[in-house]
Amino acid sequence: MKFSGFTLFMLLLVLLIVSVLFCRCCMQYSEGFIAYQENLPALDQVTIPMYSDQHKLYKLYDSLYFDNKNGNLIEVEEVNTSIMSLLTPLLRQVRLM
């Protein structure tokens, strides 16, 4: 069976559309910035306790911060609460030791 160029193009186009729709419907993921200290303007100095209590960081954008002492670029990420609920007892035990 011989396919013309147009038929082959249409088959590939339909396959591409079906795969994109399948990926959008079945794969649930969220990615993006979080709003950590969203009320502060950009380039304002902020202390992030998860990183350091002493160093002030410069806020670049939503969850991106810059440490000018050592040149680190810090991205604050949101932790999934279900994972955090599993890790909380373990973290308490580590802190007590």
The per-residue pLDDT for 8 is 94
Helix (H, G, I), strand (E, B) or coil at 3: coil
Residue by residue, pLDDT tens for the chain (97 residues) are: 788 999 999 999 999 999 988 887 776 665 556 767 778 888 899 888 888 888 889 999 878 889 999 998 988 876 655 555 555 555 555 544 4
User: What is the distance between the alpha carbons of residues 78 and 93, in angstroms, rounded to a whole number?
Assistant: 23
pLDDT of residue 14: 96
State the number of CA atoms in the 13 A half-sphere of 16 facing the CB: 6
Given this model, what pLDDT does residue 58 score? 93
Plot region of 75 (φ>0 → left; ψ -120 to 50 → alpha; else → beta):
beta
Which two tokens mark 90? 């373990």
**Which residues are 73's β-sheet partners?**
66
DSSP string, 5-47: HHHHHHHHHHHHHHHHHHHHHH-----S---TTTTSPTT-EE-
Can you give the pTM of this predicted structure? 0.49
